[in-house]
Amino acid sequence: MARTWSPSSWQSFEAQQQPDWPDEAALERALKQVASYPPLVFAGEARSLLTSLGHVAAGNAFLLQAGDCAESFDEFSAVNIREKLRVILQMAVVLTYSLGVPVVKVGRIAGQFAKPRSSSFERIGNEDLPSFRGHIVNSPTPTMAARVPDPDRIVQAYNQSASTLNLLRAFTKGGFADLTRVHQWTQEFITSSNEGERYEQLANEIDRALRFMRACGIDTESTSALHEVDVYTSHEALIIGYEQALTRQDSLTGGWYDCSAHMLWIGERTRQLDGAHIEFLRGVGNPLGCKIGPEASPEFVLELCEALNPARIPGRLTLISRMGANKVEDSLRPLLRAARDAGHPVVWICDPMHANTFTAPGGRKTRHFDDICTEIAGFVRAHHAEQSWPGGIHIELTGDNVTECLGGADDILDTQLDDRYETVCDPRLNGRQSLDLAFRVAELMRTAGVV
Ligand code: TRP
Ligand code: MN
């Protein structure tokens, strides 16, 4: 750790997973350009999210963090953004109604462009090509020219994030998220399907509850909480140069905020205690996340908490466990005990996706809906056993009707994976699988007796 933090103090630490930008001057130009642009989010918004996450840490709210594995420059349209938001809102409404606590909504969106890779090169045919590192770095097209890191993409990522955020703000404050529209979000669902029917039923109950409130004399028209939502943005803070370029000093408090998103997280591969990512993020006031795999020890978790949240601010640090369906219960319990005994106010959420990935017989990377549910069930049990609050889930999803994950309501089989496999990175739950999952999570929480 540097004695004094500054937005550039990370530069004297080792940074894992950074691209090999071939043209240093072009990189400098791009970063300077982004540094001169307006912030994408405001410090006050990051502080509101911090407060909401504080309620999660205290066991009084639930965090839904969801979106693409990696956003794409090629799939950038109003429809794409709206469909993703729609699924998130549907999941949120199911969880809010079933759990009876506020659901904090955070998208993996408007900036989720950078991907860590296990290997810098990828063998395609008889050529070794630089790995695809996300659209902010290079193109997935398997040619040498397309894989060369291109700093202009940094500026394009900023611009796409800005328009995405603009549309999100319009949708969430402009009527799309209105609770009187819960039925409309489901238009495309075949209502005869199981999760579609359950959703319709729940939407009817919400209608009745709203009528009840009006009958009691509550002015539902002028109650903005019923018509608007806060959807926050988040991404993995991987390319630290980009994050630094968007780091600004808040004029109200004097504190530094990474204004590329409301919340930033550190991946499993870049969470070295003496590394550049932790050095950079410890100095910004945003809520932070860190992925925690099955190899993490209780000692590591405590050091991480000390490094990123020394003041023990509830909501400041979210630990996102990704253990694997069969390991989660045993791996998580010692970590929960350690944090609790040390008095660290951690928001614990479950990423049931990343440790349950495998290759299907046809060669596609996939995940099974049942493994995803099993991991969440183990996560909830571990928390119940340690008297800790299972604070939320972290999911990769899309609104589209893709066939990337197996199982779920439609029981997608491995022979169907090729039908609509569109992800630029990891396999995502489709709209119906996501909605189904929201119902399952609510059920799991209820059967475990945590709500
Ligand atoms: N504003 C409340 C909330 O965010 C209620 C709400 C309005 C809502 N529209 C929603 C909840 C859509 C979930 C989905 O919780
Ligand atoms: Mn992923």
Q: What share of the chain in percent tops pLDDT 90?
A: 94
Residue 397 DSSP symbol: B
188 has a pLDDT exceeding 70: no
Four-CA torsion 213, 216, 222, 224, nearest 10 degrees: -30
Give the pLDDT band of residue 191 (cuts 50, 70, 90).
low
Give the pLDDT band of residue 3 (cuts 50, 70, 90).
confident
Mean residue pLDDT across the chain: 96
6 has a pLDDT exceeding 70: yes
Give the orientation angle of helix 328-342 with respect to helix 369-385, to 10 degrees: 40
Average pLDDT over residues 424-433: 94
Query: 168, 229, 231: which to mutate for ligand 1, most atoms within 8 A of CB?
Result: 229
pLDDT one-digit tens code per residue, 193-250: 788 889 999 999 999 999 999 999 999 999 999 999 999 999 999 999 999 999 999 9
pLDDT one-digit tens code per residue, 8-57: 999 999 999 999 999 999 999 999 999 999 999 999 999 999 999 999 99
Q: What share of the chain in percent tops pLDDT 70?
A: 99
Q: Nearest CA to 73 among 136, 31, 146, 18?
A: 136
| pLDDT score at 447 | 92
Query: Does 92 contact ligand 1 (Cβ within 6 A)?
Result: yes
User: What is the atom index within ligand 1 of the atom nearest the CA of 89?
Assistant: 14
313 has a pLDDT exceeding 90: yes
Query: Does 179 contact ligand 1 (Cβ within 6 A)?
Result: yes
Average pLDDT over residues 430-445: 95
- Ligand closest to Cα of 228 equals 1
| pLDDT score at 196 | 87
Q: Whose Cα sits closest to atom 13 in ligand 1? A: 93
Question: What is the C-alpha separation between 7 and 281, in angstroms, rounded?
Answer: 9
Q: Whole-prediction pTM value? A: 0.98
**CB-side exposure of 24: number of CA atoms within 13 Å?**
0
Q: For residue 28, which phi and psi values (nearest 5 degrees)?
A: -55, -45
189 has a pLDDT exceeding 80: no
pLDDT one-digit tens code per residue, 283-293: 999 999 999 99
Query: Does 347 contact ligand 1 (Cβ within 6 A)?
Result: no
Query: Does 89 contact ligand 1 (Cβ within 6 A)?
Result: yes
Question: What is the C-alpha separation between 222 and 233, in angstroms, rounded?
Answer: 27
Average pLDDT over residues 160-171: 98
pLDDT one-digit tens code per residue, 13-25: 999 999 999 999 9
Could you tell me which residues come within 8 angstroms of residue 46 by beta carbon, excluding any fewer than 6 positions away? Answer: 257, 262, 263, 285, 286, 287
- Ligand closest to Cα of 117 equals 2
Give the pLDDT band of residue 415 (cuts 50, 70, 90).
very high
Average pLDDT over residues 101-117: 98
pLDDT one-digit tens code per residue, 328-351: 999 999 999 999 999 999 999 999
Query: Does 177 contact ligand 1 (Cβ within 6 A)?
Result: yes
HEC secondary structure over 269-280: CCCCCCEHHHHH
Determine the 3-state secondary structure of 290 from DSSP: strand
Query: Does 102 contact ligand 1 (Cβ within 6 A)?
Result: yes
Strand partners, 129: 122
